[in-house]
Amino acid sequence: MSQNSQNTMPILRSEEDLARLPVSERIRYRLVGADCRYHANDNISAFIQEGEIDELKAEVEARMKGVLESLVIDTDSDHNTNDTARRVAKMFIDEVFRGRYQPRPRLTEFPNVERLNELMIVGPVKVRSACSHHLCPILGRVWIGVMPNEHSNLIGLSKYARITDWIMSRPQIQEEAVTMLANELQELVKPDGLAIVMEADHFCMHWRGVKDDESMMTNSVMRGAFLKDASLRREFLSLLSKKD
Domain boundaries, the chain: 4-101, 109-243
Which comes out higher in pLDDT, residue 45 or 114? 45
Which comes out higher in pLDDT, residue 108 or 87? 87
Looking at residue 244, its pLDDT comes to 60
Looking at residue 142, its pLDDT comes to 96
Tell me what percent of the residues of the chain surpass a pLDDT of 90: 71
Looking at residue 113, its pLDDT comes to 53
May I ask the CATH class of domain 4-101?
A: mainly alpha
**Lateral strand order in the sheet of 171-172:** 171-172, 120-131, 137-147, 193-202, 217-224
pLDDT digits 0-9 by tens, 142-201: 999 999 887 788 888 889 999 999 999 999 999 999 999 999 999 999 999 999 999 999
- Please report which confidence band the pLDDT of residue 2 belongs to, taking 50, 70 and 90 as the band edges: very low
d(CA 63, CA 43): 22
Neighbouring residues of 234: CB distance < 8 A, sequence distance ≥ 6: none
Average pLDDT value for residue range 88-102 = 97
Average pLDDT value for residue range 64-93 = 96
Chosen CATH of 109-243 out of 3.90.105.10, 3.40.50.620, 3.30.1130.10, 3.40.50.300: 3.30.1130.10
Average pLDDT value for residue range 130-149 = 93
d(CA 158, CA 144): 12
